[in-house]
Amino acid sequence: MNQTPHSQTTARYLDESSSSKQLWDRALAVMPGGNSRHTVVMDPYPVYAVKGQGCRVWDVEGDERIDFINNYTSLIHGHSDPKVTAAVTEVIANGTAFSLPTERDIKLAELLIDRVPYAQQLRFANSGSEAVLLALRAARAATGRSKIAKFEGCYHGIYDYAQASDSSRPHNWGDPKRPTTTLEPSMAASLASDVVTMPWNDIEVCRALIEDHASELAGVLFDPLPAALGLLEPRRDFVHFLREITERHGIMLVADEVLSFRVDHAGACTTYGIEPDLLALGKIIGGGFPVGAVAGKADVMAVFDHRDGEKVHHGGTYNGNPVTMVAGYETMAQLTVDSFEHLERLAAELREGMTRALSDRSVAHRVTGRGSLMMVLLTDEELTDFRSVARARAHSPQLAQIAKEMLHHGILLGQRGLFLALSTPMQSGEIEAFLRAFEQSLDALGIGSA
């Protein structure tokens, strides 16, 4: 069993003379905001990593932490998995990218198609954002329609049509039965008329919106376990309603499982008992390297086939590159049914421990998520949709404080607060260490009454 971090606190990065502070100053000079992705932003500046092994990360000060975010869910086997590392090392010695295909992408595609019962064909890209973009373009090509429907507040990457309504907030979200399609300043204003925004878990409102636009809708985009909605699960009847109504109107049901694919051996849609027309993948299928994929039924995926008119042109210098492909193959090959049972056991221990710690302190809370993904919100409100989750977050400023305090006690979390993604190298010892740090952090911040 892994040992817990050696030091009682891991906060040396906050020293003004720390290596992290020096790196932050350098980053500010050459990158806007000092970063290339907003998910690494921390107050007052980030901790800079230098090494990862298993479920542990070391920073440039030499402090060790247990990683409970795993590069925002993408590292299901943790860092530097031995089989992945060995396979990648072998590939690198023989060339990392070619203007010719290799067997590597065929092998990973075969593995994924064999695993997902409704997927018949697949194409690789380099990110989840690209995968969603391709899925939506495929939906347009397959239907001859142009509009997209999606859910309020949900994040699906940086493609404009997928990111619309990600910026919904109380001041701009409008009527709950006709949510406003909100746009960032960088988006074209005309986009608002091409995206229909719908409320999560509300069958009747969604039915009315979909039927109003049915003749124009190419696809309905949804994530079966959306992080932006606090990992709030959909009602099973809601998911089945989406499948039924889209099928009835000839609309493509597009599932974004870039993040949620890790909750089940065959993905989240299989867990809920539905078969979407198109599936966007990323994160864990790349084994720690940049990756995206779009999969679906053969008749829909035919829009990419150059032999049949190439309705969707799809290039990409690094699509299917052998490094990502072999890392993804070794990762997914190890991700067995037993792996998921192991993660489920750890997740149950963790959920039970956090619930007990908060209940003992009389702190109202909800633990959301499924399998190896979970989130904590400090509220007693029933969570049903994006707006209820937004209210809960607004009333839970302690979440970010808890995450930061836990960083000082050897636990690495994301900047969304108590958003967790487990990895297979973890054992009960890591769960116990997390729960100790959690209780210490609650006590240090004076949250609740023990």
Q: Which residue has the tokens 């990973």?
A: 108
Quick check: is 155 catalytic?
yes
- For residue 315, count other CB atoms closer than 10 A to its CB: 5
Which residue out of 67, 105, 256, 385 is catalytically annotated?
A: 256
- For residue 301, count other CB atoms closer than 10 A to its CB: 21
Measuring CA to CA, how many Å separate 320 from each of 103, 289, 391, 415? 10, 11, 42, 31
Taking a C-beta distance cutoff of 8 angstroms, is the pair 36, 127 a contact? no
Quick check: is 283 catalytic?
yes
Q: Give the residue from 66, 89, 117, 4 showing the smallest Cα distance to 322.
A: 89
What SS3 state is found at 388? helix
Quick check: is 305 catalytic?
no
Which residue out of 283, 297, 329, 385 is catalytically annotated?
A: 283
Beta bridge partners of 51: 58
Q: Report d(CA 288, CA 332) in Å as an integer.
A: 11
Which residue out of 155, 161, 272, 329 is catalytically annotated?
A: 155
Taking a C-beta distance cutoff of 8 angstroms, is the pair 415, 406 a contact? no
- For residue 272, count other CB atoms closer than 10 A to its CB: 21
Q: Report d(CA 86, CA 239) in Å as an integer.
A: 41
Q: Report d(CA 450, CA 359) in Å as an integer.
A: 9
Active site residues: 155, 256, 283
